[in-house]
């Protein structure tokens, strides 16, 4: 059965091209729910800023990476990504590893 941890692992392949870090360690993914016995992944995520020029690229890559799990979990049919702005993202949402990588202490 598909799990949140598996989805989050797949999302670590989605890298913000401006920062060079994945969206999980950046803290951009707020919620991941597996619905309908694994048929749908519904998630809330944000971007570092509403004007992020890489936003469409990041969202499409996130959807693509999660849908790639269909190769193993054939019941997966849909990925719904809700772009949210609450809470507004800030660097404290990053993992410690990501903050160190960017020189933020």
Q: What is the mean pLDDT of each run of 10 residues along the chain (105 residues)?
A: 96 96 98 97 97 96 98 96 96 94 83
Question: Which pLDDT belongs to residue 95?
Answer: 96
- Give the C-alpha separation, 72 to 16, whole Å: 26
- Give the C-alpha separation, 89 to 83, whole Å: 12
Domains delineated in the chain: 4-91 (3.30.300.130)
Strands 40-45 and 78-83, by their bridges, are parallel
Q: How many CB atoms lie within 10 A of CB 33?
A: 12
Question: Which pLDDT belongs to residue 50?
Answer: 94
- Give the C-alpha separation, 41 to 100, whole Å: 31
In this structure, what DSSP letter does residue 38 have? G
């Amino acid at each position: 059965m598909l799990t949140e941890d598996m989805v989050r692992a797949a999302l670590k392949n989605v890298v913000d091209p401006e920062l060079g870090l994945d969206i999980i360690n950046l803290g951009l993914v707020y919620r991941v729910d597996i619905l309908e016995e694994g048929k749908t992944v519904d998630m809330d995520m944000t971007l570092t800023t509403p004007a992020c020029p890489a936003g469409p690229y990041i969202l499409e890559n996130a959807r693509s990476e999660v849908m790639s799990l269909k190769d193993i979990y054939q019941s997966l049919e849909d990925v719904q990504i809700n772009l949210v702005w609450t809470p507004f993202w800030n660097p404290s949402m990053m993992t410690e590893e990501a903050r160190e990588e960017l020189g933020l202490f």
